[in-house]
């Protein structure tokens, strides 16, 4: 593996040093005029370009509200991303707020934003244990569950049919600590429809959109602890079974919410898992990558180095697999990240999990991600 020490030494000098004297890191020579008030050097490629040189898509999660409320962030997405994914706007409770009422306005806005800036969009998410509306429990009982699932998936997918790159058809159906032999999470869908809800969802999805890649998106796959190892084993069992029975699944999403606490990730067992997924003919997407820094000291240089090292190690490992087609961060700028709430630091310092700081300047994580793309084999 190329030396991480190398990355650290060189980049701390070139990156952090430059940042602390307000001269930003080298930045994309996109030639686009920017009127967001953020002034930067424009001498380097965007993450989109670094990725596309290796045949990869790079992108990030956002939503109508944060992009319309922050011009500098919207400009950054246009510069850096080849694909966007709605962080929340397509979740069940947002897109289907009443039993017979759908609201596509926010996701439509995002699709229009993507299309008008030559970006793709992916769909997140259709069937999940979370993000259900208040009306769900009152309306969806066992006799109606199948019809309700069909109706929701068909309506939402038809609305975007032929326009989205991929869809997270099922989201986090497994749970590392599940007491069940099949590893399924105790989700309302499981209670209502039994374990078949997964294949039902994929069949409905394929009927509704023939073009989008249909994905099983899963969390906590990359760790080396026993629950994650068990989860990978059970996940593979599921994937083999679905493929054997010709269930229309095209890809898996590995969320990749990483934690810079020094615990081992992306080890031998994980690499074997990736190869076995490839052998099944499935594509892989890194769908929600970020790095929690709440266990690291407050010092920004120390924290940024730990975050960048983990990004590099993780991506360098994952991208060796040529069936990985896309890498998405869960947010792009540290100014708008879900980790500000879910992994807030005890010292109240702002978290720094993403490739750009809150002023839209690239952090050391940017360099680590760019370098991992550069080192990846082409596809």
Residue ranges that bind ligand XIL, judged by CB under 6 A: 87-88, 171, 219, 255, 288, 338
Question: What are the CA-CA distances from residue 286 to residues 2, 69, 255, 311, 344 (Å)?
Answer: 21, 27, 6, 12, 23
**Closest distance of CB 104 from ligand XIL, Å:** 18
**Closest distance of CB 277 from ligand XIL, Å:** 19
Catalytic residue among 49, 87, 218, 288: 288
**Closest distance of CB 143 from ligand XIL, Å:** 29
**Closest distance of CB 241 from ligand XIL, Å:** 23
**What tokens does 4 get?**
């991480």
**Closest distance of CB 150 from ligand XIL, Å:** 22
**Closest distance of CB 213 from ligand XIL, Å:** 17
Instruction: Judge residue 181's burial from the number of C-beta atoms within 10 Å of its C-beta, 0-12 exposed, 13-18 middle, 19 or more buried.
Output: exposed
Which residues fall within 8 angstroms of residue 8, CB to CB, at 6 or more apart? 305, 308, 309
Residue 322 CB neighbour total at 10 angstroms? 15
When the beta carbons of 249 and 254 are compared against ligand XIL, the nearer one is: 254
When the beta carbons of 168 and 199 are compared against ligand XIL, the nearer one is: 168
What value does the CA radius of gyration of the chain take, rounded to a whole number of Å?
A: 20
When the beta carbons of 25 and 251 are compared against ligand XIL, the nearer one is: 251
Measured between alpha carbons, how far is 104 from 110 in angstroms, rounded to an integer? 10
Residue 52 CB neighbour total at 10 angstroms? 15
Question: What is the CA angle 104-110-115, rounded to 5?
Answer: 120
3-state secondary structure at position 297: coil
In the annotation, is 288 catalytic?
yes
123 close to 104: Cβ distance less than 8 angstroms: no
Catalytic residue among 172, 199, 218, 255: 172
| Best CA proximity match to 48, nearest among 15, 85, 78, 13 | 78
DSSP state of 131: S
3-state secondary structure at position 121: strand
When the beta carbons of 288 and 293 are compared against ligand XIL, the nearer one is: 288
When the beta carbons of 88 and 363 are compared against ligand XIL, the nearer one is: 88
Question: What is the CA angle 145-243-239, rounded to 5?
Answer: 75
When the beta carbons of 238 and 373 are compared against ligand XIL, the nearer one is: 238
Active-site residues: which are they?
172, 288
């Amino acid at each position: 593996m190329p030396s991480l020490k190398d990355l650290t030494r060189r980049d701390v000098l070139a990156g952090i040093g430059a940042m602390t004297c307000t001269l930003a890191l080298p930045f994309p020579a996109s030639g686009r005029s920017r009127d967001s008030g953020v002034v930067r050097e424009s001498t380097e490629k965007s993450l989109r370009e670094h990725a596309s040189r290796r045949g990869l898509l790079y992108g990030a999660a956002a939503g109508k509200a944060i992009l319309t409320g922050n011009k500098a962030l919207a400009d950054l997405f246009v510069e850096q991303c080849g694909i966007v994914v709605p962080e929340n706007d397509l979740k069940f409770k947002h897109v289907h707020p009443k039993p017979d009422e759908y609201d596509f306005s926010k996701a439509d806005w995002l699709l229009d934003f993507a299309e008008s800036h030559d970006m793709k969009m992916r769909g997140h998410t259709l069937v999940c244990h979370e993000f259900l509306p208040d009306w769900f429990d009152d309306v969806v009982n066992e006799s109606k569950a199948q019809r309700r699932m069909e109706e929701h998936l068909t309506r939402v997918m038809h609305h975007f049919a032929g326009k989205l790159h991929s869809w997270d058809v099922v989201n986090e159906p497994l749970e590392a600590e599940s007491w069940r032999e099949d590893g399924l999470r105790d989700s309302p869908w499981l209670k209502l429809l039994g374990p078949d809800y997964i294949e039902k969802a994929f069949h409905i999805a394929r009927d509704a959109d023939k073009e989008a890649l249909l994905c099983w998106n899963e969390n906590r796959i990359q760790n080396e602890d026993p629950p994650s190892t068990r989860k990978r084993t059970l996940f593979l069992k599921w994937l083999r079974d679905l493929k054997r029975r010709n269930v229309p699944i095209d890809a898996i999403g590995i969320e990749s919410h990483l934690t810079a606490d020094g615990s081992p990730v992306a080890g031998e067992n994980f690499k074997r898992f990736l190869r076995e997924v490839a052998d099944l003919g499935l594509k892989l997407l890194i769908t929600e990558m970020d790095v929690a820094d709440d266990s690291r000291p407050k010092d920004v240089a120390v924290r940024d180095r730990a975050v960048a090292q983990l990004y590099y190690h993780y991506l360098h490992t994952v991208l060796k697999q040529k069936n990985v087609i896309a890498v998405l961060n869960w947010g792009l700028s540290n100014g708008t990240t879900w980790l500000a709430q879910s992994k807030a630091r005890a010292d109240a310092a702002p978290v720094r999990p993403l490739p750009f700081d809150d002023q839209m300047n690239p952090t050391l994580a940017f360099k680590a991600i760019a370098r991992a793309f550069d080192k990846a084999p082409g596809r």
